[in-house]
């Protein structure tokens, strides 16, 4: 297999039973692997800034999750539940015969890495969670209502016309707002990979089903059990102005549940690995990986 440049990524594709996961790869495929997984509605380009700083020593593969970026959408009738993503990554690593990888996940990607590390400890040797420390949870008494809300949306389907843009720049402008707004620097990396050109117009290639409500949310005791089950070293890289600031009092018990957890904080917002102190984050990850290798 040809070596990919640390600075310029190569396109990669992984066939799964239902379709293909695609992504970007930096570095030498014979080097130890870092699997990088992005957040909700982002894509592999989320690691455009961080990956080249790590790819001189590691083979970094950044995935597009199903329905995101260049990866295939799930077949008609399927949904995008949290555990479905974990299953797909487990299948991919099994096919690639990869064990003991370093998993770097931003936001949703960090949650998936934690679930995989808890359930399949042989697959994940070290875990880096970027502004991520577990999912939004539900309560048992809320489950019937949550399921009903999801089923109504699934049966009704997407309504209305998808937004159309005259240029990628218009789409970048649109993405600056939203529930989790992006800075312009982050949007200019992420948005083009989530677009497809249709004649003289540009439309989102992201599957609209990604916005459907979850049919089931984990409860806090399940999340704590997940963190207690993780035995590999875990680095939590927190944004000082990120989403973890809104997690409140659940952060401390979750972090303390880790057998081998380290915490560091960086100035910036939720996408600080793209538009913040990327150099500082890369250096911290390298220092931490070197230390974890000695344990």
Q: What is the 3-state secondary structure (H, E, C) of the chain?
A: CCCCCCCCCEEEEEEECCEEEEEEEECCCCCCEEEEECCCCCCHHHHCCCHHHHCCCCEEEEECCCCCCCCCCCCCCCCCCHHHHHHHHHHHHHHCCCCCEEEEEECHHHHHHHHHHHHCCCCEEEEEEECCCCCCCCCHHHHHHHHHHHHHHHHHCCCCCCCEECCHHHHHHHHCCCCCCCCHHHHHHHHHHHEEEECCEEEECCCHHHHCCCCCCCCHHHHHHHHHHCCCCEEEEEECCCHHHHCHHHHHHHHHCCCCEEEEEECCCCCHHHHCCHHHHHHHHHHHHHHHHHC
Q: Given the residues 107, 132, 167, 262, select the one marked as catalytic.
A: 107
- CB within 8 A of 156, min separation 6: which ones? none
How many residues does this entry show for the chain? 295
20 labelled catalytic: no
For the beta sheet containing 10-16, the strands, ordered from the edge strand earlier in sequence to the opposite edge, are: 10-16, 19-26, 59-63, 33-37, 101-106, 124-130, 234-239, 261-266
Burial class (CB in 10 A: 0-12, 13-18, 19+), 162: exposed
Instruction: Return the active site residues.
Output: 107
């Amino acid at each position: 297999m040809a070596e990919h440049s640390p600075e310029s990524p190569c396109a990669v594709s992984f066939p799964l039973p239902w379709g293909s996961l695609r992504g970007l790869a930096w570095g030498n495929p014979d080097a130890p692997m870092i699997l990088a997984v992005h957040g909700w509605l982002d894509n592999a380009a989320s690691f455009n800034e961080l990956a080249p700083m790590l790819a001189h020593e590691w083979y970094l593969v950044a995935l597009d999750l199903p329905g995101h970026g260049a990866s295939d959408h799930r077949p008609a009738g399927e949904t995008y539940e949290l555990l479905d993503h974990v299953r797909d990554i487990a299948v991919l690593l099994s096919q690639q015969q990869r064990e003991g990888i370093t998993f770097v996940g931003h936001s949703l990607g960090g949650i998936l890495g934690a679930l995989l590390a808890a359930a399949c400890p042989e697959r994940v040797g070290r875990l880096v969670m970027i502004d991520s420390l577990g999912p939004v949870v539900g309560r048992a008494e809320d489950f019937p209502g949550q399921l009903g809300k999801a089923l109504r949306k699934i049966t009704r389907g997407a309504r209305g016309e998808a937004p159309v843009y005259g240029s990628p720049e218009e789409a970048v402008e649109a993405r600056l707002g939203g529930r989790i707004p992006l800075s312009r620097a982050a949007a200019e990396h992420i948005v083009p990979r989530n677009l497809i050109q249709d004649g003289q117009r540009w439309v989102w290639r992201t599957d609209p089903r990604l916005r459907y409500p979850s049919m089931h949310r984990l409860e806090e005791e399940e999340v704590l059990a997940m963190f207690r089950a993780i035995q590999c070293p875990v680095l939590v890289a927190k944004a000082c102005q990120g989403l973890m600031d809104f997690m409140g009092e659940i952060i401390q018990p979750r972090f303390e549940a880790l057998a081998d957890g380290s915490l560091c904080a960086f100035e910036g917002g939720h996408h600080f690995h793209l538009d913040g102190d990327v150099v500082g984050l890369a250096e911290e990850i390298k220092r931490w990986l070197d230390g974890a290798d000695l344990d």
